[in-house]
Structure 1
Amino acid sequence: MNMARAIRQISKQTPNVEEEQAQAAADLMRQLTENKDAVIAGIQVMKGLNDMGIFDALRGMLDNRTEVGAIAMQQLNQPATHNVIKAGMFGIQFLSTLQLGQLETVMNGVGLGMKRLSKTGQDGEKQSIWKMRRRLRSPEIRAAMTAMVDFMEGMGEAFLHNKKHDE
């Protein structure tokens, strides 16, 4: 009966540079063929950007990055830019206080109101005082006027609150 011989020496196989490059090239070709449509689409997008001159502009910006950075910092340091940033922050803060249902209702109302406004402007139909008086009794007009009065009350409350803090 033959017994297995004990392993006394382990030789580690290390691929040489050519083998590693050949394996990397094979992996790259496999990925390219598996993602052919995405690669072609990416190339088409890059060609379009190149045709528009985007890459030339980017290359120029990179070549002059110190000057471009200085100009960008000067523009960001303008008082008007500070106001835009603050206004954007206040806008985001305001939107975060609204509930989605409220915002949706208001935006739908504004959209429908704008449609009616443009239709009225196109038709150019004049209305008599009596017809307008009758329309003021409609539930839609009453709902809108109530909403506007509530809006003005809330706005006035905020104005008075700010006035008290300023004093």
Structure 2
Amino acid sequence: MIMARAIRQISKTVPNVQEEQDQAIASIMREVAENQEAIMKTLGILKGLHEMKALEAVHALLEQRTEVGAIAIQQINQPGMHNIIKNAMGAVGFLGALQPGQLNTLLDAVGSGLKRLSNTGENGEKQSIWALSRRLRSPESRAAMTSMLGLLEGMGEVFLQNKEQKKG
């Protein structure tokens, strides 16, 4: 019985630089062909940004990023900016707590009220006490006053809770 000869030397073929570049180019060309539509849209976006000089502005910002960053940090460290950031976070939290229907109703009501306010201000009509009392008895005025009282009561409730928390 004949036994196989032991392998003592392993020869590994290493592609030369030219072969590696050819493989890389072929791989890139395959990807370009497969994603032609996305690449064309991206080029269109870049062309538009270049035409409106936005790319130049971004390039200038990148070149001066250290100085721009230092200025941005200085502006953020202003005491007023801290309040703005905290207020913005509070506003986002408030909007997140509202139901979309509630917010739409409230904004529609405020818009309608502002229209009536501007009409009343433009006309400049003076009204007698009797006319005002008649308007206060209208269903719209009663609904608005009831809503405003509910708003005031809710605000007062929170004010009192916060006052108690600060004491305790």
The normalised TM-score by structure 1 is 0.70
**Structure 1: which amino acid aligns with 2:148?**
M
The CA deviation at 1:126 is 5.5
Distance 1:165-1:19 versus aligned 2 partners, 3 A rule: same
Residue in 2 that maps onto 1:104: 104
Distance 1:125-1:75 versus aligned 2 partners, 3 A rule: closer
**Structure 1: which amino acid aligns with 2:153?**
E
The CA deviation at 1:78 is 0.7
Residue in 2 that maps onto 1:155: 155
Report the more deviating stretch, 46-55 or 77-86.
46-55
Structure 1 CA distance, aligned partners of 2:31 and 2:117?
57
Structure 1 CA distance, aligned partners of 2:34 and 2:114?
51
Residue in 2 that maps onto 1:22: 22
The CA deviation at 1:163 is 4.9
**Structure 1: which amino acid aligns with 2:52?**
M
Indicate the percent of aligned positions where both proteins have the same amino acid: 50
Count residues in correspondence: 161
| SS of structure 2 residue aligned to 1:91 | helix
Instruction: Establish whether residue 58 from structure 1 lines up as the match of residue 58 from structure 2.
Output: yes
Residue in 2 that maps onto 1:36: 36
Structure 2 CA distance, aligned partners of 1:157 and 1:108?
26
The CA deviation at 1:76 is 0.7
| Structure 1 residues 40-65: Cα deviation after superposition (integer angstroms, max 9, x where no partner) | 22112112212222222222222222
Distance 1:24-1:135 versus aligned 2 partners, 3 A rule: farther
Structure 2 CA distance, aligned partners of 1:90 and 1:156?
19
Residue segments in structure 1 that go unaligned for 5+ positions in a row: 1-5
Structure 2 CA distance, aligned partners of 1:17 and 1:8?
33
Report the more deviating stretch, 45-54 or 124-133.
124-133
**Structure 2: which amino acid aligns with 1:103?**
L
Structure 2 CA distance, aligned partners of 1:136 and 1:7?
110
What RMSD, in angstroms, separates the aligned Cα atoms of the two structures?
Answer: 3.6
| Structure 1 residues 62-94: Cα deviation after superposition (integer angstroms, max 9, x where no partner) | 222222221111111111111111111221232
The normalised TM-score by structure 2 is 0.69
Structure 1 CA distance, aligned partners of 2:152 and 2:158?
10
Residue in 1 that maps onto 2:74: 74
Structure 2 CA distance, aligned partners of 1:32 and 1:113?
57
Report the more deviating stretch, 79-88 or 104-113.
104-113
Structure 1 CA distance, aligned partners of 2:131 and 2:139?
15
